[in-house]
Structure 1
Amino acid sequence: MLSKEVSPEPAENTPDQAQKTAGKRRRRRGWLIALSVVLVAIVVAVGAFVAWAKDTYPSDAGVVAEVQSDSRVVYEELDGMIRLAPAHTESTQGLVFLVGAKVEPEAYVGRLAQAAAAGVTVLIIEPPLNLALLELDSFDSLTASEPQIQHWAVGGHSMGGVKACSYAEDSKVTKLLLFASYCSTDKLAERQDLSVLSLQGSEDLVINQENLHNAAASMPENTDQELLQGVTHGQFGSYGDQPGDGQALISDAKAQQLISSKVLEFLVPGK
C-alpha cells in the first residue's frame, strides 16, 4: 500500500518577519515620496528659470523704427537673428554680435546701424532663452549665410561679450568688440592678429569692476579700452533702465551717437 505524501503547510509569518516586511514597505514609500518631491522641485525651478529668462528688457520701438526707415541700411528679421546690411554697396566685412542677458536683439540695431551703412554686414544673434552663454551654434554655423564676407569681427554686450570672446578664438575672426564686458579666460592673450575694442561706461554699476580689471591683463596686446563718460551699462543698448545700474549723465541719444562713432571707427577706419 502506497503512503500518501502530505505537503507541508506554509509557515505563518512570525511577528518579526511581518515587522521587517512592513519596514521595507515604509522605506520604499519614503523613497518614492522623496523622489517625487525632488522631481516636482526640479520642474518648478526649471519653469521659474524659463519664465525669468523670457521676461526680457524690451527694445525702444522708436530707435528700431528709425533704423528700419534708414535708406542706407537693409533691415531683416531672420530665424534666430537680425541682419543689418549696407543697401548700396557690396559687403565684405561682417560682425557677429551677441546680446546682453535677457535683452532683445532689436535693442542693439541703433548702436550698430552706422557700421552697417558704412559697409559692414551685422548679424545680431538671438540666443536660446535670451542668454548668450546658451548659444551652442558654431561660428561657421552662425555665418554660413554670408559666404561673401572676407573679414569677420565678433562682439557682444555684457554676457554676450563673454560669449563673443569664445568665438574670437576662431582664426577667421580678426576683431573683437566688447560693450561693458570682458573675457573670462586668457585664451586670446597670445593672439597677435586680433584687435580688440573694449568700451566701458563710467556710470556702469552692473559690471564687476574687479573682474574687469583682472581680465585686462589677459587680453591681446592690440587692445584698446575706452571709458565713455556718463554712460551706464544699459545705455550700450536701447532698452531703458536696468536694475542695479548707475544714473546716466548723458541722454540715450547722445550715448548712441558716441557708441556708434566708436564702433564705426573700429570696424571701418577712416569712415
Structure 2
Amino acid sequence: MAVIWENKWKILLGIILAVIAIVWFILRPYPAGDAAKAALEESAVMEASVHDAIRFIPDEEPLAHLIYYPGGLVEEEAYSYFGEAMAEAGVDVWIIPMPLNLAVLGSSRAEGVLESVGEAPVVIGGHSLGGAMASRFAQEHAERLAGVFFHGAYPDEGGRLDETDLSVLLITAQNDEVMSQDSYREGLGYLSAGALEEEIIAGNHASFGDYGPQRGDGEAGVTHEDAVVEIVDITIEWLTTLR
C-alpha cells in the first residue's frame, strides 16, 4: 500500500511541476534589450510610491506628464529608451510596471501618478494590451486627463472615449502582424472623429519597445532607435496642441 501511495505522490508531483513549467513558459516576459537597459541605468528614477514606476524627468518644467502602460508580457524596462528620449524632449515620463507583466491586472495603477504630477497636461497610453487598458483608465478619469495615445493598440468597448473631450493619438506600424487590423478598425468606432492616426513606415509591433522579435510579428525594416525618433517627434507635436 505504501508503494502505491508513493507512486501516486510522484505522479501528482510530476503533474504539478509540469503545470508550473507550462505557466512559466506562457507568462515568461520579453526582456528589455541593450538600448533600453542603457537608458534605464543612465537616466531613470524609481518611484517606489507608484508601484516602483520607472520615471524619466526632464531638466526643465515639463511640456506634459506622460503615463505609459507596457504591452502584454513585456518588461516595463523595455520602454526605457522611449522614456529617456521623451524626457530629453521635455516630457515627464512614468512607465508603470504591471502584475505578471499584464496591464489587465493593474489598469488602475496610474492613479498614484495623478496624485504626484504638476500643472502640465497629463496624458496616458501604452503599447498593445497596455494601450487598451490605458483607455479604460482614461474613460474613468477623463476629467483629470488631457489625452490618450495608442502604440500598436486601440480601445475596446470598455475603454471607449467617444463621449469624452480627450485628444487621441494612434501610432501604428506598417509591418505590424500582431495587432488585428479588423479589431483596430472596430476600435476606431469607439473614438471621436478627431482622433489623429500616424504610421511608422517599416516598423512592426515590437518597434515600440526594445525587447527583440515578437512571436507572430512582421519583420521590421527600421531599428528600434530610429522608430523611437519618429514616435517622439509625432508625440511631441501632438502634445504641443494640448497646452
- Scaled by the length of structure 1, the TM-score of the pair is 0.74
Q: Using a 3 Å threshold, how does the CA distance of structure 1 residues 138 and 62 change in structure 2: closer, same or farther?
A: closer
Q: Using a 3 Å threshold, how does the CA distance of structure 1 residues 112 and 147 change in structure 2: closer, same or farther?
A: closer
Q: Secondary structure at the match of 1:168?
A: helix
- CA contact under 8 A between 1:162 and 1:181: conserved in structure 2? yes
Q: Secondary structure at the match of 1:141?
A: helix
Q: What is the rounded CA distance, in whole Å, between the counterparts of 1:163 and 1:259 in structure 2?
A: 20
Q: Using a 3 Å threshold, how does the CA distance of structure 1 residues 52 and 216 change in structure 2: closer, same or farther?
A: same
Q: What is the rounded CA distance, in whole Å, between the counterparts of 2:75 and 2:240 in structure 1?
A: 26
Question: Please, which runs of 5 or more residues in structure 2 have no aligned partner?
Answer: 1-7
Deviations 1:208-240 (A, max 9, x none): 111011111221232011122100000111111
Aligned to 1:24: none
Aligned to 1:49: 23
Which structure would you say has the larger Rg? 1
**Are residue 58 (structure 1) and residue 31 (structure 2) matched?**
yes
Q: What is the rounded CA distance, in whole Å, between the counterparts of 2:39 and 2:20 in structure 1?
A: 38
Deviation at 1:114, TM superposition (A): 2.9
- CA contact under 8 A between 1:92 and 1:149: conserved in structure 2? no
- Of 78, 97, 117, the match for 2:47: 78
Aligned to 1:153: 123
Q: What letter corresponds to residue 90 of structure 1 in structure 2? A: E
Deviations 1:30-56 (A, max 9, x none): xxx9xxx9xx98996577435532x21
**Are residue 98 (structure 1) and residue 72 (structure 2) matched?**
no
Aligned to 2:3: none
Question: Please, which runs of 5 or more residues in structure 1 have no aligned partner?
Answer: 1-32
1:1-271 → structure 2 map (5 Å cutoff): 45=19, 48-49=22-23, 52-53=26-27, 55-66=28-39, 68-69=41-42, 74-79=43-48, 80-86=52-58, 88-91=59-62, 93-144=64-115, 146-169=116-139, 170=141, 171-185=143-157, 187-191=160-164, 193-268=165-240
Q: What letter corresponds to residue 137 of structure 2 in structure 1? A: Y
Q: What is the rounded CA distance, in whole Å, between the counterparts of 1:143 and 1:201 in structure 2?
A: 30
Q: What is the rounded CA distance, in whole Å, between the counterparts of 1:182 and 1:77 in structure 2?
A: 28
- CA contact under 8 A between 1:168 and 1:176: conserved in structure 2? yes
Q: Identical aligned pairs, as a percentage? A: 28
Q: Using a 3 Å threshold, how does the CA distance of structure 1 residues 231 and 127 change in structure 2: closer, same or farther?
A: same
Alignment length, in residue pairs?
225
Deviation at 1:111, TM superposition (A): 1.9
Q: What is the rounded CA distance, in whole Å, between the counterparts of 2:170 and 2:182 in structure 1?
A: 16
